[in-house]
Chains A and B, each alone.
Chain A
């Protein structure tokens, strides 16, 4: 395996140019993030390992792992990191890269969930739970949905899963919303932060 140094590592440059990835080189490998993560034990590589591997240029292993897809965005690592890194944003950046380059781990269904969710937001400006869940299960595994029927039924029974869309934006508002989003898409899918001022720095 070829191990690249940080200086000429394209992968680290790619991550550093992503939102929240700027501080990845400040990591001192203390492992506080891994120790704080409720899902670290389920990940192929813990957050600390993931950062070390990224810095070693192990692009494919990092992007095809299940690690970032198990991030819950609970930000416990972020408030504890002694270097002011936002590991949660690094996880988001890795998710984005894995999705963009179509190398997401086949063992996780989270990328499909995220895509279905985002498309629904774009299309109706709102998340109807029944429709969104239905689209997700149809895409990943219609038969897998069967074991969730009891939960779905109890939600229906308690009035917690309207079958039709419970709320609709006015047509002119939806048009406005979509015009804004379409413009945003043309303005670039991810943002470079050259004028970076500060990042979240834990406790005040």
Chain B
């Protein structure tokens, strides 16, 4: 058994419960213990950084301080949480003045942080802490006819080089291969999905979404897998809106990568939250899904 602290992030309780469910189900199969950080708060995301940077750092610092007490790696599943928590760690370490102010603010809440928590993305954990052989040993469903487009998005691999290349990552490609499925070529795999601009500048975001879907379709993908709640929401929930705007007729299922893993492991669709996917995966993936 491998032990981690787990930072789900707000999306996991709201629009991406399927990611949380499937991540926990897959972790169980792979002997990964994800213990949710008790009474964590929102990471603040990029908007808070713009409005008030020190407060934004302190949002993360409270979570990091709570995680430090347990002394384990802190695993985030949302790419934005992952980036923002890491950014706080980086500034805490590199700028003594920032560190001093964060420490002073934390002390008001009776907390301390010493900068020792390593923040990791769940893709990193699954792709690098678990061997390909261990993953292959759990496979119950043959996915060899399935062509999967690996969509990384941006914040899981940038800005700071960590567990994969900043422009041409391959860890999820290898994971898909370990699961026995085919990897569809996906040149736009690290292009941005539009993020929260889907709310404030919808037309701009829809164009990006359209390009990503079009690129996956034209490369023969049966489905797209993502590692981030925002990417998933934009490509899945807004696929219909993008279709209407660009006069296309895409019905491309978008899965969290943990859902695809769960399907390969023969986990029941209910435990993977497949019903919460808006473009139904049942049609393209009917013969693989366990009901």
Whether A155 contacts B15 by the Cβ 8 Å rule is: yes
- Whole-angstrom CA separation of A9 from B155 in the bound complex: 34
B185 in the interface (beta carbon within 8 A): no
For window 167-194 of chain A, which residues contact chain B by CB distance below 8 Å? 167, 169-170, 173-174, 176-177, 179-185, 187-194
Whether A155 contacts B237 by the Cβ 8 Å rule is: yes
Q: How far is the CB of A191 from the nearest CB of chain B, in Å?
A: 6
For window 63-92 of chain A, which residues contact chain B by CB distance below 8 Å? 69-70, 72-76, 78-80, 86, 88, 92
Q: How far is the CB of B10 from the nearest CB of chain A, in Å?
A: 4
- Point out the residues of chain B lying under 8 angstroms from A96, CB to CB: 50-51, 53
Q: How far is the CB of A26 from the nearest CB of chain B, in Å?
A: 17
For window 257-278 of chain B, which residues contact chain A by CB distance below 8 Å? 275-278
- Point out the residues of chain B lying under 8 angstroms from A110, CB to CB: 197, 200-201
Whether B50 contacts A176 by the Cβ 8 Å rule is: no
Whether B47 contacts A118 by the Cβ 8 Å rule is: yes
- Point out the residues of chain B lying under 8 angstroms from A151, CB to CB: 237-238, 240-241
Whether A72 contacts B197 by the Cβ 8 Å rule is: yes
B49 in the interface (beta carbon within 8 A): yes
- Whole-angstrom CA separation of A27 from B211 in the bound complex: 31
- Whole-angstrom CA separation of A181 from B42 in the bound complex: 12
A102 in the interface (beta carbon within 8 A): no
- Point out the residues of chain A lying under 8 angstroms from B59, CB to CB: 121, 177, 181
B283 in the interface (beta carbon within 8 A): no
Nearest residue (CB) in A for B203 is A42
A4 in the interface (beta carbon within 8 A): no
A35 in the interface (beta carbon within 8 A): no
- Point out the residues of chain A lying under 8 angstroms from B166, CB to CB: 75, 79, 202-203
Whether B106 contacts A180 by the Cβ 8 Å rule is: yes
Q: A118-B48, A151-B238 are in contact. Are A193 and B276 (CB under 8 A)?
A: no
- Point out the residues of chain A lying under 8 angstroms from B278, CB to CB: 154-155, 158, 160
Q: How far is the CB of A184 from the nearest CB of chain B, in Å?
A: 4
A127 in the interface (beta carbon within 8 A): yes
B248 in the interface (beta carbon within 8 A): no
B129 in the interface (beta carbon within 8 A): no
A204 in the interface (beta carbon within 8 A): yes
Q: How far is the CB of B144 from the nearest CB of chain A, in Å?
A: 30
For window 95-124 of chain A, which residues contact chain B by CB distance below 8 Å? 95-96, 99, 108-110, 112-115, 117-118, 121-122
**Given pairs A121-B48, A173-B41, 16 additional interface contacts (CB within 8 A):** A70-B204, A95-B50, A96-B50, A113-B199, A117-B45, A154-B278, A167-B10, A169-B41, A177-B62, A177-B109, A180-B62, A184-B57, A184-B58, A185-B55, A190-B53, A200-B90
Q: List 16 A-B contacts (CB under 8 A).
A: A69-B201, A79-B166, A92-B53, A113-B47, A114-B51, A121-B59, A122-B55, A129-B14, A162-B13, A166-B14, A179-B109, A187-B101, A187-B105, A191-B97, A195-B96, A198-B94
Nearest 7 Cβ contacts at the A-B interface: A74-B154, A75-B158, A74-B192, A114-B47, A125-B41, A75-B159, A176-B109
